[in-house]
């Protein structure tokens, strides 16, 4: 007891007396910490510091405040935004024939281009003071999603000017003169923008772009001015072939010290009219056969005045920071909107097709193999819509949550890929015959584009989500990094000492907390709600605690090597991602009034998230470089093993049943899906057949009973069966007419496109 008492007193003195603690503990740790700091390039540091921490920060604390989640305002469209969606957007959708656009014209028709420009589709983010519509992020997302269910080409065309590009950069960083010069023209559609960042030698590593500008003196409008002589070669630039104004990113150098004493100024962004001497718009690309405009641009020894730098001379060298800040917001709107559109379209059409299409005398949706895939389609679409709304809502709060938007971009594009594959499985031959009737083909072709752009998904998952999240979202690490980088050693040590005490307490709390929650399976965690979803809040809190613990151990033991352990860090990123997705689903469920019909979708989504969290943790533990530590961490977080399971078969069947009949949940889950009015429209045709087959069920029961009674022969073609039923007096004339119309619609819906000999060849020659 005496020895124990002495040890406790000694520990209290060491920790409690500042000078002793700093000399014996903090200084040695501070020295080690500075050595193991991950080396950050300037671009990495700027990316790390850009953007905001939001709900992701709560998930990293190990004990999320779920009341904060529920208090986040529900994003809603204004009356003006809803009117635009109901009128201008609907008019545009009726003008589009996506098959002709992609397969024959390889461009939007002239009247569509004119309509988009004249009606403010390029002006959704531009303030009203400059003639723009100044729509919210949720409106931007909803409009793009709605258009994408009709035409990916049209959606991308509208999406790009309202995402990262000249308009957004000007609004955030442009001088007043630049705003007055460009924004009215962009808003009115008189100017078409593009932004050139990617080149042959630099994609993900924007810091390595070879495109350069040199500060020098030159002639502009008959006067000698200080400007920049540019050389660039860019590719994959959307809207470049039709752009009138080019946003350009390049490295700027000042060898003659015309701007100061720094020669390597850094990445800079400028705005250049494409009509300017020396600007070259090169060849057009043809990404996955999609018809939206995408191409190359280059220039050699092109002189521009310094005033064309976005933000003016004060913003030279600040281009990368500008880009990552704006990209953090745009990444949360555009590609997530496309992914969600895929879900809305695939869910509504696949459910309809699975009901209309029959095999062995039954709708194929009654077969369990189809129900499994249809359940996954519906469950993923619910997650997509929940993430779309929550992420766009964050941007409407004037936040730029870089980690959250990276999660949204990666997982929403991957989910759309998964559910499209399932949709193709169910449609089978109906999905692979390309033609005017095929509503899935172009979306399928476009999925790899979404996977690739705005940061390829491999990069986003392996480097960005946890790479940024570990430092940005952790309550202490970024501050500790700043303290270690402080050129004033004494001030840095003092700051580090204060943070270290808090960090040690945080880590100890998570260690014991993880063990307690593991032993009790999170049963004692608090939930902000009662009912069926309460269990999920408790489990997500438990997993948040496990993430905080494992992140601390990883950074402590691996230091700078963690950045290079991409597979390991990506798994922790997966844990963070699925915590966010599950949070979005639970928030969506609450915001929509806790609808009973939503529960199968909520259960499916969150159970899938928990399973994926368990799978990511399992990979992390088994691959941790120090296997003993890996086993220790697993024992703390999952002392009885990882027991999360994928949703059971009953859950998939419940979702499938909801999608196989007209219902409120079906309409809410697919409310963005465009349904054409004519019988020749592919989505309209399928929906009409779906409704007609449902309406005819009482009449079909009459026929089945007549067959059972021996009045009508079995296994005859449906049209013959209808005639036999009429002859036998089973059906009235009106009922016969209804069934004949239903059969006509049904057959049209399941039919596929075919072409006369030579027809495709002649179209190819015309193209």
Each residue of 617-627: pLDDT tens digit? 999 999 999 99
Most confident range, picked from 33-37, 326-330, 758-762: 758-762
Q: Report the SS3 class of residue 217.
A: strand
Render pLDDT for 150-195 as a digit per residue (tens, 0 to 9).
Answer: 999 999 999 999 987 889 999 999 999 999 999 999 999 999 999 9
Q: Does residue 706 lie within any of the structural domains?
A: yes
Contact 116, 92 (CB under 8 A): yes
Mean of all residue pLDDT scores within the chain: 90
The domain boundary, picked from 319, 346, 378, lies at: 319
Residue 43 has pLDDT above 80, yes or no: no
Q: Average pLDDT for residues 295-302, to the nearest whole number?
A: 96
Same domain, 492 and 639: yes
Gap between the Cα atoms of 474 and 56, Å rounded: 9
Rounded to 10 deg, the angle between the 477-485 and 27-36 helix axes is 90
Q: Does residue 413 lie within any of the structural domains?
A: no
In this structure, what token pair is assigned to residue 71?
């208090």
Same domain, 303 and 214: yes
Does 94 or 460 have the greater pLDDT score?
94
Provide the pLDDT for residue 140: 96
Q: Does residue 148 lie within any of the structural domains?
A: yes
Residue by residue, DSSP assigns 292-338 as S-EEEEEEEEEEEEGGGBTT-GGGTT-HHHHHHHHHHHHTTTHHHHH
DSSP state of 463: I
Gap between the Cα atoms of 464 and 574, Å rounded: 11
Same domain, 544 and 603: yes
Query: Which helix (DSSP H) or strand (DSSP E) does residue 218 occupy?
Result: strand 212-220
Provide the pLDDT for residue 525: 95
| Domain containing residue 214: CATH number | 2.40.110.10
Of how many residues is the chain composed? 767
Same domain, 183 and 91: yes
Render pLDDT for 333-365 as a digit per residue (tens, 0 to 9).
Answer: 999 999 999 999 999 999 999 999 988 778 999
Render pLDDT for 305-334 as a digit per residue (tens, 0 to 9).
Answer: 999 999 999 999 988 888 877 777 778 899
Provide the pLDDT for residue 4: 56
Q: Average pLDDT for residues 401-429, to the nearest whole number?
A: 95
Residue 30 has pLDDT above 70, yes or no: no
In this structure, what token pair is assigned to residue 484?
């270690």
Provide the pLDDT for residue 7: 54
| Domain containing residue 97: CATH number | 1.10.540.10
The domain boundary, picked from 272, 292, 319, lies at: 319
Provide the pLDDT for residue 321: 83
Number of domains in the chain: 5
Q: What angle do CA 530, 62, 524 make, to 5 degrees?
A: 40
In this structure, what token pair is assigned to residue 138?
């949720």
Residue 47 has pLDDT above 70, yes or no: no
Same domain, 122 and 174: yes
Same domain, 99 and 147: yes
Task: Give me the active site residues, please.
Answer: 454
Same domain, 490 and 629: yes
Same domain, 136 and 234: no
Distances (CA, A) of 235 to 240, 286, 412, 436, 747: 9, 12, 25, 31, 45
Residue 91 has pLDDT above 50, yes or no: yes
- How would residue 19 be classed by pLDDT, with cut points 50, 70 and 90? low
Render pLDDT for 709-756 as a digit per residue (tens, 0 to 9).
Answer: 888 888 888 889 999 899 999 999 999 999 999 999 999 999 999 999
Same domain, 165 and 313: no
Name the residue with tokens 């033609």.
Answer: 435
- How would residue 13 be classed by pLDDT, with cut points 50, 70 and 90? very low
Show the domain range for 211. 194-319
Same domain, 103 and 249: no
Q: What is the dihedral of CA 253, 258, 263, 267, to 10 degrees?
A: -40
């Amino acid at each position: 007891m005496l020895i124990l008492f002495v040890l406790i007193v000694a520990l209290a003195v060491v920790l409690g007396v500042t000078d002793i603690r700093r000399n014996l503990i903090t200084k040695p740790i501070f020295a080690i910490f500075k050595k193991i700091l991950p080396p950050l390039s300037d671009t990495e540091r700027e990316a790390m510091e850009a953007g905001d921490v939001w709900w992701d920060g709560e998930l990293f604390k190990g004990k999320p405040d779920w009341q904060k989640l529920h208090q986040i305002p529900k994003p809603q469209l204004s009356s003006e935004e809803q009117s635009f969606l109901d009128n201008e957007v609907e008019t545009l959708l009726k003008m589009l024939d996506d098959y002709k656009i992609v397969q024959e014209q390889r461009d939007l028709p002239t009247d569509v281009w004119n309509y988009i420009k004249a009606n403010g589709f390029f002006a959704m983010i531009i303030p009203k003071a400059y003639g723009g519509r100044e729509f919210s992020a949720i409106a931007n997302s909803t409009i793009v999603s709605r258009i994408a269910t009709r035409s990916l080409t049209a959606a991308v065309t509208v999406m790009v000017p309202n995402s990262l590009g000249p308009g957004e950069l000007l609004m955030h960083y442009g001088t007043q003169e630049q705003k007055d010069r460009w924004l009215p023209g962009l808003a009115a559609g008189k100017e078409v923008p593009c932004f050139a960042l990617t080149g042959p030698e630099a994609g993900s590593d924007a810091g390595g772009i070879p495109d350069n500008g040199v500060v020098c003196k030159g002639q502009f409008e008959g006067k000698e001015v200080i400007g920049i002589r540019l050389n660039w070669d860019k590719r994959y630039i959307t809207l470049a072939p039709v752009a009138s104004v080019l946003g350009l990113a390049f490295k700027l150098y000042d060898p003659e010290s015309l701007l100061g004493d720094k020669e390597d100024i850094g990445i800079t962004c400028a705005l250049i009219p494409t009509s300017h001497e020396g600007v070259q718009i090169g060849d057009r690309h043809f990404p996955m056969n999609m018809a939206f405009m995408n191409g190359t641009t280059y220039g050699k020894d092109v002189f521009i005045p310094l005033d064309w730098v976005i933000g003016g001379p004060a913003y030279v060298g600040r281009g990368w920071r500008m880009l990552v800040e704006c990209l953090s917001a745009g990444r949360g709107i555009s590609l997530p909107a496309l992914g969600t559109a895929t879900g809305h379209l695939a869910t509504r059409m696949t459910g309809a097709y699975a009901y209309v299409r029959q095999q062995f005398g039954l709708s194929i949706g009654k077969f369990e193999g189809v129900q499994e895939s249809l359940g996954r389609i519906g469950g993923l679409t619910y997650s997509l819509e929940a993430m779309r709304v929550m992420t766009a809502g964050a941007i409407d709060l004037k936040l730029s949550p870089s980690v959250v938007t990276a999660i949204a971009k990666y997982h929403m594009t991957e989910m759309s890929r998964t559910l499209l594959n399932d949709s193709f499985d169910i449609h089978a031959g109906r999905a692979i015959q390309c033609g005017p009737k095929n509503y899935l083909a172009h979306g399928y072709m476009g999925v790899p584009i979404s996977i690739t752009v705005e940061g390829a998904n491999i990069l986003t998952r392996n480097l960005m989500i946890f790479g940024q999240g570990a430092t940005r979202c952790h309550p202490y690490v970024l501050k500790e990094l700043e303290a270690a980088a402080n050129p004033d050693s004494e001030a840095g040590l003092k700051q580090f000492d204060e943070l270290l005490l808090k960090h040690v307490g945080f880590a100890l709390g998570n260690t014991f907390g993880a063990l307690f929650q593991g032993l009790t399976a999170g049963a004692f965690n608090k939930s902000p709600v009662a009912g069926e979803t309460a269990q999920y809040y408790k489990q997500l809190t438990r997993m948040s605690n496990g993430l905080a613990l494992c992140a601390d151990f990883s950074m402590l033991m691996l230091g700078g090597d963690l950045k290079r352990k991409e597979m390991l860090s990506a798994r922790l990123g997966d844990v963070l991602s699925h915590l966010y997705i599950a949070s979005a689903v639970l928030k969506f469920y609450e915001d929509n009034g806790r609808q009973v019909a939503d529960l199968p979708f909520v259960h499916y989504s969150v159970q899938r998230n928990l399973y994926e969290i368990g799978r990511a943790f399992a990979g992390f533990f088994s691959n941790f470089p120090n296997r003993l530590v890996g086993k220790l961490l697993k024992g703390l977080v999952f002392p009885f093993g990882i027991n999360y399971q994928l949703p059971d078969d009953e859950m998939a069947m419940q979702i499938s049943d909801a999608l196989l009949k007209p219902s409120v949940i079906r309409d809410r889950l697919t409310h963005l899906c465009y349904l054409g009015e004519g019988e020749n429209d592919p989505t309209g045709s399928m929906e009409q057949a779906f409704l007609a087959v449902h309406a005819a069920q009482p009449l079909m029961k009459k026929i089945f009973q007549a067959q059972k009674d021996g009045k009508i022969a079995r296994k005859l073609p449906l049209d013959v069966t209808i005639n036999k039923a009429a002859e036998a007096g089973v059906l009235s004339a009106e009922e016969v007419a209804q069934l004949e119309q239903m059969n006509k619609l049904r057959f049209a819906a399941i039919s596929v496109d075919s072409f006369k000999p030579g027809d495709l060849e002649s179209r190819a020659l015309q193209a």
